């Protein structure tokens, strides 16, 4: 007698195999189940006055689905186009379904679908939803803590010794290694790739496989060399560079920053890397009122210079940006480009500076910051939305040369690449939206 578990495993394997062959034939890739999961004891209650549909699942859990939500996402061919995989119905105003109410609802005989009849919905009288879909589309209440974002590993004082390291040849030649490298940047904030030829043009080799390098007025890649008298910005001089984000003066900041060390300075020039999300969480815990100040009021950044053409970038960024549920989305802070225009009300300015001082204290602490010498042939990749980076001063003596090549990716392009990989390799832990 076959157990349910064996059957469902077999179904799952078979389903996978069908999925792969269908993919080769170019058949639809939308939530696709050859053999959807079967539910044997789902109970349905239509709470018409509240315009809610209550489903009690096998595990006893009761979940409520507002009628309007179900109507808004009806998957029938007149509401959803299978060819373009996009909505045909638009919205409740244009398509006039704001009054749609569920008249009856019951589970199909084969236990895999919910069948609904509508009223006050014109000629659209019925819908059918896969129970699988309903399970993944449950709406949770405010009270439940919904951790839906990217699972990041915040740093601690051990990070300096435990920085994730990858090998250049493996990353270039093994797609899974390349994916793991990207994922590591997303989760850990920083990674190092070793054994890279000590010449320019290496970052491009990675870019060719993932997504275009971001084009800035410095070009697709930029060279960080000590240029002495000709330096355009402090970056290109040789003094200390405090912890900062790159391109804060742009409203759209780069996602990943890569710095490939071609030649390291004989003395000094060490890299400083800080997990600013960790510093911010430390601030949120010890001084929540300071945290709120850094979230609320933006700083202004500008960059005016001439490189091929004249530029005058200006942007506003609070130091800490949050998602709607309070999780941190981005940290942005740069001293050498922030302006003297302050958008903090006068009576809060002193507190704002205190908040900033505390945040920076955490950022430079050993719990959040690592300091190390990037060796020639190695490259560091950082999440520019999360990490702050800097360097110690170095000497420009004859015979001493420091040369790094850098480039940026936008998160949109990188994450798109990751999601396609996850889909092709059926990886469950999917990259959500930034």
Among residues 117, 212, 289, 395, the one that binds other proteins under rule CB under 8 A: 212
- Let me know: does 294 contact 356? Beta carbons within 8 Å: yes
| Closest separation in Å from C-beta 2 to other proteins | 34
Chain-centroid distance, C-alpha 288: 25
Q: Which of 290, 294, 275 is nearest to 363 (CA)?
A: 275
Q: Is 3 in the site for other proteins (CB under 8 A)?
A: no
What would the DSSP string read from start to end of 181-233? HHHHHHHHSEEEEE---SSTTHHHHHHHHS-PPPPBTTBSEEEEE--GGG-SS
Query: DSSP state, 240?
Result: -
Using CB under 8 A, which of the segments 54-62, 133-141, 165-173, 183-191 binds other proteins? 133-141
Q: Closer CB to other proteins, residue 395 or residue 412?
A: 412
| Closest separation in Å from C-beta 219 to other proteins | 12
Angle at the Cα of 28 (from 22 to 33), degrees rounded to 5?
70
Q: Is 90 exposed, middle or buried (0-12, 13-18, 19+ CB in 10 A)?
A: exposed
Q: Closer CB to other proteins, residue 11 or residue 68?
A: 68
Q: Which of 177, 169, 178 is nearest to 197 (CA)?
A: 169
Q: Is 242 in the site for other proteins (CB under 8 A)?
A: yes
The secondary structure element, H or E, covering residue 166 is strand 165-167
Q: Is 429 in the site for other proteins (CB under 8 A)?
A: no
Q: Which residues contact 250 (CB under 8 A, 6 or more apart)?
A: 313, 315
Q: Position of tokens 């990943």?
A: 256
Half-sphere exposure of 67 toward its Cβ, with a 13 Å CA cutoff?
Answer: 24
Q: Is 371 in the site for other proteins (CB under 8 A)?
A: no
Q: Is 92 in the site for other proteins (CB under 8 A)?
A: yes
* Secondary structure E strands in 76-169: 80-81, 86-87, 101-107, 113-119, 126-130, 165-167
Q: Is 204 in the site for other proteins (CB under 8 A)?
A: no
Q: Is 23 in the site for other proteins (CB under 8 A)?
A: no
**The token pair that represents 293 in the structure block:** 């100040």
Q: Closer CB to other proteins, residue 196 or residue 299?
A: 299
Among residues 131, 256, 294, 360, the one that binds other proteins under rule CB under 8 A: 360
Q: Is 123 in the site for other proteins (CB under 8 A)?
A: no
Chain-centroid distance, C-alpha 343: 28
Using CB under 8 A, which of the segments 117-125, 170-178, 349-357, 392-400 binds other proteins? 349-357
Q: Which residues pair with 47 in a beta bridge?
A: 52
Using CB under 8 A, which of the segments 172-180, 258-266, 274-282, 419-427 binds other proteins? 419-427
Q: Closer CB to other proteins, residue 257 or residue 378?
A: 257
- Let me know: does 231 contact 224? Beta carbons within 8 Å: no
- What does the alpha-carbon distance between residue 31 and residue 15 come to, in Å, rounded to a whole number? 12
Q: Position of tokens 């392009």?
A: 413
Q: Is 19 in the site for other proteins (CB under 8 A)?
A: no
Among residues 76, 140, 176, 397, the one that binds other proteins under rule CB under 8 A: 140
Q: Closer CB to other proteins, residue 8 or residue 242?
A: 242
| Closest separation in Å from C-beta 414 to other proteins | 11
| Closest separation in Å from C-beta 376 to other proteins | 27
Among residues 266, 335, 366, 395, the one that binds other proteins under rule CB under 8 A: 335
Angle at the Cα of 61 (from 151 to 10), degrees rounded to 5?
70
Among residues 215, 398, 399, 429, the one that binds other proteins under rule CB under 8 A: 215
| Closest separation in Å from C-beta 319 to other proteins | 11
Angle at the Cα of 297 (from 296 to 299), degrees rounded to 5?
140
Phi, psi torsion values for 161, nearest 5 degrees: -90, -15
Q: Closer CB to other proteins, residue 260 or residue 358?
A: 358
Q: Is 314 in the site for other proteins (CB under 8 A)?
A: yes
- What does the alpha-carbon distance between residue 155 and residue 157 come to, in Å, rounded to a whole number? 7
Among residues 9, 165, 266, 423, the one that binds other proteins under rule CB under 8 A: 423
Q: Closer CB to other proteins, residue 167 or residue 298?
A: 298
Residue numbers 396-415 binding other proteins by CB under 8 A: 410-412, 415
Using CB under 8 A, which of the segments 4-12, 102-110, 159-167, 238-246 binds other proteins? 238-246
Among residues 68, 115, 263, 396, the one that binds other proteins under rule CB under 8 A: 68
Q: Is 340 helix (H, G, I), strand (E, B) or coil?
A: strand
């Amino acid at each position: 007698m076959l157990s349910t578990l064996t059957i469902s495993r077999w179904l799952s394997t078979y389903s996978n195999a069908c999925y792969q062959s269908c993919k080769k034939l170019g058949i639809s890739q939308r939530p696709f189940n050859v053999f959807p999961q079967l539910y044997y004891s789902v109970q349905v209650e239509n709470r018409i006055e509240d315009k809610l549909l209550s489903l009690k699942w096998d595990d006893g859990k009761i979940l409520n689905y507002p009628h309007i939500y179900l109507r808004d996402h009806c998957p029938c061919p007149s509401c959803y186009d299978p060819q373009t995989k996009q909505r045909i119905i638009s919205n409740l105003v244009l398509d006039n379904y704001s009054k749609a109410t569920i008249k009856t609802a019951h589970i199909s005989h084969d236990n895999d679908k919910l069948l609904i009849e509508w009223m006050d919905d014109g000629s659209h009288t019925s819908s059918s939803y896969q129970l699988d879909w309903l399970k993944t589309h449950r709406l949770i209440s405010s009270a439940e803590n919904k951790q839906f974002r990217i699972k990041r590993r915040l740093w601690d004082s051990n990070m300096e010794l435990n920085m994730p390291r990858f090998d250049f040849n493996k990353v270039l030649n093994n797609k899974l290694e390349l994916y793991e490298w990207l994922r590591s940047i997303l989760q850990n904030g920083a990674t190092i790739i070793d054994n890279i030829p000590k010449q320019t043009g290496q970052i491009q080799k990675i870019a060719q496989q993932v997504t275009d390098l971001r084009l800035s007025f410095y070009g697709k890649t930029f060279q960080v060399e000590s240029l002495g008298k000709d330096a355009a910005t402090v970056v290109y001089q040789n003094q200390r560079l405090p912890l900062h984000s790159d391109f804060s003066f742009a409203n759209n900041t780069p996602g990943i920053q890569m710095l490939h060390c071609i030649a390291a300075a004989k003395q000094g020039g060490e890299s400083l890397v800080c997990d600013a999300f960790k510093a911010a969480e430390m601030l949120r815990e010890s001084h929540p009122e300071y945290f709120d100040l850094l979230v609320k009021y933006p700083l202004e950044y500008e960059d005016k210079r001439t490189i091929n053409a004249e530029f005058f970038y200006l942007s506003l960024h609070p130091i800490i940006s949050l998602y709607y549920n309070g999780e941190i989305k981005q940290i942005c802070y740069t001293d050498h480009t922030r302006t003297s225009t302050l958008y903090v009300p006068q009576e809060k300015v002193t507190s704002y500076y205190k908040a900033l001082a505390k945040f920076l204290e955490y950022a430079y602490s050993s719990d959040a910051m690592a300091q190390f010498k990037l060796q020639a042939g190695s490259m560091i990749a950082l999440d520019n939305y999360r990490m702050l980076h800097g360097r110690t001063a170095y000497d420009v003596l004859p015979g001493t040369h420091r040369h790094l090549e850098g480039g940026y990716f936008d998160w949109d392009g990188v994450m798109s690449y990751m999601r396609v990989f996850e889909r092709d390799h059926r990886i469950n832990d999917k990259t959500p939206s930034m």
